[in-house]
Every structure is written in C-alpha cells, then in structure tokens.
Amino acid sequence: MTLDFSTLLPYTDQILHGLMTTLWLTAVTTMAGIALAIVVAYLRDGASKGRPTLVSRLLGGYVEVIRNTPFIVQLFFLFFGLPALGIPISATVAALLAMILNLGAYTAEILRAGIDSTQRGQHEAARALGLSRLQSFRHVVLVPAFSRVYPSLISQCIIVMLGSAVVSQISVFDLTYAANFIQSRNFRGFEVYLVVTLIYLLLAVGLRLAFEFVGRRLFAFRQGGSA
Amino acid sequence: MFACVKNRFSRQLVLALCCTVVAGLAALSAQASDLETIEQRGTLRVAVPQDFPPFGSVGTDLQPQGYDIDMAHYLADQMDVDLKLVTVTSANRIPFLQTDKVDLVISSLGKNPERAAVIDFTEAYAPFFLGVFGTPDAAPVDDAAGLAGKTIGVTRGSVEDMELSDLAPSDTTVQRFEDNATTISAFLSGQVDYIATGNVVAAQIAERNAERAPTMVFRIKNSPCYIGLAKDNEALKTRVNALIEQAKQDGTLESMSQKWFHTALPDDLSS
C-alpha cells in the first residue's frame, strides 16, 4: 500500500472548514459549559448545607442523567426528539446544546469535589467577616476549588473537544465530517484519517497549553504571587 | 510407481476438464425456449427477486409478492399459460436465463452494455430512479436550479450523494448522514424537508409513514427496469413488448405503481 497525500490537496478547504467548526464549537462549549457548571455548583452548594431543595434535586437529576447516558444518545435525543415535539432545532444548535449540557454536568461534578474539599469553616469565616453569600462563594470557595480541580477540568474540556467528533453524525461539518466526506470521495481513508488524527492531537496539546497558561494567571496565588 | 500415479492423476485431470467443457458447451448451447415452446408447454417460467421489496419479497403467507411478481402474473394471464416463479438473487439472474432455466427475468433488472452483450431486453416495465423527494405538499421543480435554497438530506457516499453534489446549485445545503436509516430519521423527524434517495426507499418510507410520504420533486438519475430474455428470441420479445404497451395503456402498470410504490408512474412509463 502506498500513501498518496496529494489526493487530499483538492479538499484543503473542507479540512479547514471542519477545523474551524471544531474550534469554535469547542471554544463556545468550554466557556458556556463551565459557566453552566458554576451556576449548578452554586445552587447545589447552597442547598447542601440544609435539607435538599427541589432545585438541588432537579440539578442532581440533570447531572446524573447526563453522566449516565452516552453522548451520542443525548445528541440524537435533541436532534431527532425536539423537532418531533414541535421544537425546531438545527444540527449546529443541537450539537452545541448537547456539548454544553454534557460538559456542564461533568464539570459541575468536578467542581463539587473541589468545593467539598474546601473547609466549611472558611466559608463561615468569610460570612462572619461580612462578605455576602455570593461574594464568599466566589472568592473563598470557588477560586480555591477551581485551582484544586483545574487538571481534571482541563482533561474534561479536552474530552469534550475530542467527543465533538460525534456531531458529524448529525451532519455538522466538523473535522470528522470533513474526513468522512473526503474519504467517501477519494477512497483514501488512511491518508485522510492520518492527517485528521494529527490535527486532533495538535488541537488537544494546544488546548492543554492554553489552559495551563490561563491557569498560571488565574491561580497565581498558589505559587505565592499576588492575585 | 510415482510415474504411474502421476499418469493416472493427469488422466483424471484431463477427464475432469473434458467433462467441464462438455457441460459448459451443453449449457451454452441450451436452446432458449421460444414463444411456441412456452405455449406448447403451457407454463411461463419467470425469475423474480425475493430479497428486494417492493419489487419482490416474501409475504407473511410465505408466497413471493411485489411489483415484479405482479408483472409476471399479468404476463402469464395475458399469454394464457401457467406461471412458474423461480426466485433468484441479483448475481444469478442472468445465468438462469443463459442456461434456459427461465424464460424471462423480471427482477428489477437495469440495462447496461455488459448485460446487453449477453441477453436481450424488452421495453421498460418499472420505474427505478434516484430523485429528490419532499414532504407531501412539496412542489416539483423543473431543473436542478429549482433546488436552490433548499436543505436536502442524503446518505454520504451514496450514488445520489455524488450526483446531487454535481447537480445542486451552490446555495443548496446538502446535509450528509452516516447511513440510510439516519437520513430517513432526519426526514421523518422534520430535520430536513427534502431527501435525495431512490424511489424504492421513498416507497418504503411512504409504506410506514403515510402522513409524511415523500413526494418526488426532482429526478436526479433515471435507470428504469427491463425484462430480460435470451438473445434472438424475437417472437417472445415482440409478444412481451406488446403486453407491456397494453399494460401502460389500460392502467395496469399505473395501479401496480400505486400499489407497490405509493406513487404515480413517471411520465416516460405511462403513455
């Protein structure tokens, strides 16, 4: 078998298009997913001090449903299920929504581990010093919790980026869609998937480096620097 | 000793080769049954599919059923002979004809030069085409330019995907799905209002979901089915052609199309 990468040249546009889609899907998902996770963690944290409320039960249900079902099933549920219920949803919106909901649930659980490891007394001390509940959550609970679970968070975001390959199944033109498309045209599967594998690898390494860069800025206090 | 074995072995080999050649010659020289032979015999032998609905499949009563089977019944009735159905696969339907095991092949057979070199074809008797299908209220378009602005679902890498990619204007959105089942789901769930597929697949969707039965909007590629028969069998060919023409005129084909494809015959088949 001989490799012939020149057969890919006419499809450079498709690969670039797919790469851009994967990149922006990952970027939006990472930001929205983490934001969703913070809200979920905040609402669940507030409730965990007393008896579970309806909201915390509902949020717990959301986290468990997402974490205990396959991503592709969640995706198909949104893509095929919602229109059947009379709610029109495009492939891109379905993909984005599924990815955000997925990352949100996993990150909420990761954050909960970080929050649980924060001493309860620290929280109470902040309240005693006159910080509001939101202020103490933000400065005393959330940031230290984030810094503790940051490596897990990076891994989770990379998993979601790689998992985004699944959205090609509902015709979203991401990197995997481009690879499948090219493979169905020039029948050079090995060359195409080799190139796409390398691109995913570079994306994952790049994403990790970017996260670590941001982490060094955000959690400078851990290295003894000033925040 | 060794020489003797070798000798016997080669003798057997020669014998086997001879048998093969003789059998082959016998098969090749099998005289195709002409119209007269069929009428004397009183039986029309027809090769039909049993694995390709709605052309031919096995019903719940274990009897073959489908468009091709109805066609075979129609021909036998009109010729006033009994019908003997022989089920074939797509790979062996032409050899069955060449070795005079059947008189006609009514098995969703498409015409191509390779086949035309070894067998004869009658006129087209059944529609087989790739097209763009829409929801029941979708309006037909005259040419590919009419597909502009539409979102069309298609199975990636299929023949219809290739053809559609060449034909469709640049502002047509082509959504490609992994397999036929996903493409059909996308259409049935309302994710896409148009799909490119074969009329056979469209008929199957219509069979199961009458309220979202696909209607033909634009024909991408036409490849109608023909009845195959042995070469140089002019009398039989003329008779079958006359009966196909009659079936077009008296609405037999139209009602078969309605029954099995849930849609009207395309213009080039109805007269």
The ipTM (two decimal places) reads 0.75
Chain B nearest CA to A207, separation (Å): 29
Q: Assess whether pLDDT exceeds 90 at residue B265.
A: no
Chain B nearest CA to A159, separation (Å): 23
CB contact under 8 A, B175 and A169: no
Average pLDDT of chain A is 90
Q: Assess whether pLDDT exceeds 90 at residue B174.
A: yes
Q: Where are the domains of chain B?
A: 35-128+224-261, 129-222
Q: Assess whether pLDDT exceeds 50 at residue A177.
A: yes
pLDDT of residue A46: 65
What is the mean predicted confidence (pLDDT) over A139-162?
Answer: 92
Domains and CATH numbers, chain A: 7-223 (1.10.3720.10)
pLDDT of residue A222: 67
Average pLDDT of chain B is 87
Chain A nearest CA to B94, separation (Å): 30
Weakest mean pLDDT among B42-46, B75-79, B95-99: B95-99
pLDDT of residue B187: 93
Share of chain A above pLDDT 70, in %: 95
Give the pLDDT band (50/70/90) at residue A225.
Answer: very low
CB contact under 8 A, A169 and B177: yes
CB-nearest to B175 from A80, A81, A171 is A171
Q: Assess whether pLDDT exceeds 80 at residue B204.
A: yes
In a mutational test of the B interface, the residue from A171, A172, A187 whose CB has the highest number of chain B CBs within 10 Å is A171
pTM across the whole model: 0.74
For residue B270, count CB atoms less than 10 angstroms from its CB and return exposed for 0-12, middle for 13-18, buried for 19 or more. middle
What is the mean predicted confidence (pLDDT) over B133-148?
Answer: 89
CB contact under 8 A, A170 and B177: yes
SS (H, E, C) chain B: CHHHHHHHHHHHHHHHHHHHHHHHHHHHCCCCCCHHHHHHHCEEEEEEECEECCCEEECCCCCEECHHHHHHHHHHHHHCCEEEEEEECCCCHHHHHHCCCCCEEEEEECCCHHHHHHCEEEEEEECCEEEEEECCCCCCCCCHHHHCCCEEEEECCCHHHHHHHHHCCCCCEEEEECCHHHHHHHHHCCCCCEEEEEHHHHHHHHHHCHHHCCEEEEEEEECCEEEEECCCCHHHHHHHHHHHHHHHHHCHHHHHHHHHHCCCCCCCCCC
CATH placement of domain B129-222: 3.40.190.10
CB contact under 8 A, B189 and A84: yes
pLDDT of residue B164: 92
Q: Assess whether pLDDT exceeds 60 at residue B1.
A: no
pLDDT of residue A172: 95
Give the pLDDT band (50/70/90) at residue B99.
Answer: confident
Share of chain B above pLDDT 70, in %: 90
Nearest chain A alpha carbon to B165: A185
Domains B35-128+224-261 and B129-222 equal at CATH topology level:
yes
What is the mean predicted confidence (pLDDT) over B35-57?
Answer: 91
What is the mean predicted confidence (pLDDT) over A99-108?
Answer: 97
Q: Assess whether pLDDT exceeds 70 at residue B259.
A: yes
Nearest chain A alpha carbon to B187: A80
Query: What CATH class does B35-128+224-261 carry?
Result: alpha beta
